[in-house]
């Protein structure tokens, strides 16, 4: 009886559509950013973005690249806690000039917090004991908009100054969502001569 659904599926033809794709020559970008999380947090983020698809508009002289990215960061909230953040996502870069480009990306991640000070808890016998290195894990959803400006216009190296405002959600935070706004600034470097197909 279990083979009937399998035989039923095999009666239908399975078609696979394939699309030829041209190899794209776009650099992998590595970046390091200092961050300020409004109103009291500060930290840093390091990450990489890898392009996987490119569309060029010859009439406008512009290019759009789709990329995947991954980041690792740390935030410090004085007299409260320290957070370690890891996320992965995807986005689109819009390039109209070799001097600058913009990007929009979305990501999902994990946030691990380690609280300052002493935290106490009750054990099963009702005794109070100190909980050392008390921490919690949250999920995050983030949206970034980045502005990238080339540092040396005549230099073949791809050094850029990156400015990146972002909004992100931390959840479940006491049963709710906690909204964050962050400002990030730093440098990014493009590794040249990488071809993706």
Backbone angles phi, psi at 7, to 5 degrees: -65, -35
Cα 156 off chain centre by: 27
List the structure tokens of 81: 């806690």
pLDDT value of position 14: 40
- Residue-wise pLDDT for 102-118, tens only, equals 999 999 999 999 888 77
Residue 154's pLDDT is what?
A: 66
pTM of the full structure: 0.75
DSSP character for 7? H
CB 183 within 8 A of CB 145: no
For residue 80, the model assigns a pLDDT of 85
> What local confidence, expressed as pLDDT, does residue 110 receive?
96
Answer whether residue 17 shows pLDDT above 50: no
Which conformational region is residue 193 in: left (phi greater than 0), alpha (psi within -120 to 50 degrees), or beta? left
Average pLDDT over every residue of 147-162: 81
Report the pLDDT value the prediction gives residue 87, as an integer from 0 to 100: 95
With CA atoms as reference, report the closest residue to 33 among 46, 20, 24, 21: 46
- 65 near 92, Cβ under 8 Å? yes
Decide which of 3.30.70.1880, 2.40.160.20, 3.40.50.12780, 3.50.50.60 is the CATH code for 21-196. 2.40.160.20
Q: Where are the domains of the chain?
A: 21-196
- Alpha-carbon distances, residue 154 vs 30, 31, 49, 189 (angstroms): 20, 21, 24, 15
Quick one: which of 93, 135, 129 has its CA closest to 111?
135
The pLDDT mean for the chain works out to: 82
pLDDT at 68 over 50: yes
Residue 3 has φ and ψ, to the nearest 5°, of -80, -15
pLDDT at 48: 94
Q: List 104's β-bridge partners, or say none.
A: 92, 145
Indicate the pLDDT class of residue 153, thresholds 50, 70 and 90. Answer: low
């Amino acid at each position: 009886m279990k083979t009937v659904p399998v035989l039923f599926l095999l009666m239908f033809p399975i078609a696979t559509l394939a699309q030829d794709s041209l190899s794209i020559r776009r650099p992998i970008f590595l970046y390091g950013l200092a961050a300020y999380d409004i109103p009291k947090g500060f930290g840093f983020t390091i990450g990489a973005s890898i392009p996987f698809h490119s569309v060029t508009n010859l009439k406008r002289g512009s290019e759009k690249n789709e990329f995947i990215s991954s980041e690792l960061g740390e935030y410090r909230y004085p007299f409260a806690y320290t957070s370690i953040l890891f996320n992965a996502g995807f986005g689109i870069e819009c390039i109209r000039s070799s001097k600058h480009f913009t990007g929009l990306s979305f990501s999902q991640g994990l946030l691990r917090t380690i609280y300052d000070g002493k935290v106490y808890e009750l054990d099963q016998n009702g005794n109070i004991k100190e909980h050392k290195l008390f921490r919690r894990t949250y999920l995050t959803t983030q949206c970034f908009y980045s502005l990238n400006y080339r540092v040396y216009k005549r230099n073949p190296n791809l050094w850029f100054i990156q400015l990146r405002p972002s909004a992100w959600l931390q959840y479940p935070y006491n049963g709710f969502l906690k909204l964050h706004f962050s400002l990030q600034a730093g440098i990014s470097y493009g590794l040249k001569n990488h071809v993706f197909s």
